[in-house]
């Protein structure tokens, strides 16, 4: 799959140095596979969640970090939208709800 916005991952790892060792293998797996559905994706990433009918959330480093993505399974593209710590993710639910509403109204 093609991962878009990898610079967000690099920026996050620069701020949270210990995260790099968890994101590198995650990216390698994503880029070396062609997942055709969320169901297929969860066979590899069992803790991934599909939230608000828009976002796929990856738990990274034992639930310490959350990578918020939008995946187009037809075009095999994963767009990284946000990367947050677990604490930040809990505080940012309103951001995801607002974006999901925008997404739904643009369909």
Predicted confidence (pLDDT) per residue in 30-62, tens digit: 999 999 999 999 999 999 999 999 999 999 998
Domain range for 19 is 2-105
CATH of the domain at 72: 3.30.2310.20
Number of domains in the chain: 1
Reported as a single tens digit per residue, the pLDDT across 55-92 is 999 999 988 999 999 999 999 999 999 999 999 999 99
What pLDDT is attached to residue 103? 81
Q: What is the 3-state secondary structure (H, E, C) of the chain?
A: CEEECHHHHHHHHHHCHHHHHHHHHHHHHHHCCCCCCHHHHHHHCCCCEEECCCEEEEEECCCCEEEEEEEECCCCEEEEEEEEEHHHHHHCHHHHHHHHHHHHHCC
> Model's pTM, two decimal places?
0.93
Strand 55-60's sheet: what is its strand order?
A: 2-4, 77-85, 65-72, 55-60, 49-51
């Amino acid at each position: 799959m093609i991962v878009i916005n990898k610079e967000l991952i690099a920026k996050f790892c620069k701020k949270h140095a210990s995260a790099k060792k968890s994101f590198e293998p995650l990216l390698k797996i994503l880029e070396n596979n062609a997942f055709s559905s969320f169901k297929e994706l969860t066979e590899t990433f069992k803790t991934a969640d599909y939230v608000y009918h828009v976002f796929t959330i990856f738990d990274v480093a034992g639930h310490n970090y959350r990578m918020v993505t939008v995946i187009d399974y037809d075009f095999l593209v994963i767009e990284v939208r946000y990367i947050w710590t677990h604490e930040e993710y809990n505080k940012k639910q309103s951001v995801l709800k607002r974006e999901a509403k925008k997404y739904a109204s643009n369909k």
